[in-house]
Amino acid sequence: MSIGRKKAIAGLASALILSVVASTQILATEAGEPIPVIVDQATIVKLPPRITTLIVGNPLIADVSLQPGGAMVVTGKGYGSTNVMALDRDGAVLLNRIIRVDGPSDKLVTVFRGVSRETYSCTPVCEQRITLGDGPDYFKATLEQSGSLSAAAGASPDK
């Protein structure tokens, strides 16, 4: 094979590789990276213009809401992955992304008592924290205390 032909084949191979890489990057940009969210926390995602409807695949994993100015608030509700689709007025899908909800990892202490689990947030002092997967008795007792505290804080003082 001549040197000229080898250079032509090498150039064609390089162009083909660049074309495949460019098309892969375009697909990755259109699909977007997963939206990372921590359970019980929210994050804001900028949306393309003309969005009128948001659809979340599994509302037990994440909740989404459309805000003025083209923003979407994503709140992690349960562990796992789901998707969110954003549609325009005509029903065209302008966005379809994965939402990945992970558990908190900062300064948590998990106590196992047999098969039952309790979680404490240690920022800086360890306090009870309700976390999905905690034992039902611990979860219920902590939730009831939080609800009572919230109700008491919202009650009007006696005169």
Greatest CA span in the chain, whole angstroms? 101
Q: Apex CA 40: angle with CA 35 and CA 44, to 5°?
A: 40
58-113 confidence digits (pLDDT tens):
999 999 999 999 999 999 999 999 999 999 999 999 999 999 999 887 888 999 99
Pairing of strands 35-38, 93-102: parallel
In the sheet that holds 93-102, the strands lie side by side as 35-38, 93-102, 80-87, 53-56
Q: Map out the domains of the chain with their CATH numbers.
A: 31-102 (2.60.40.1080), 108-152 (no CATH)
Query: Which tokens go with 129?
Result: 């924290």
Long-range contacts of 113-116 (CB under 8 A, 24+ apart): none
32-43 confidence digits (pLDDT tens):
899 999 998 999
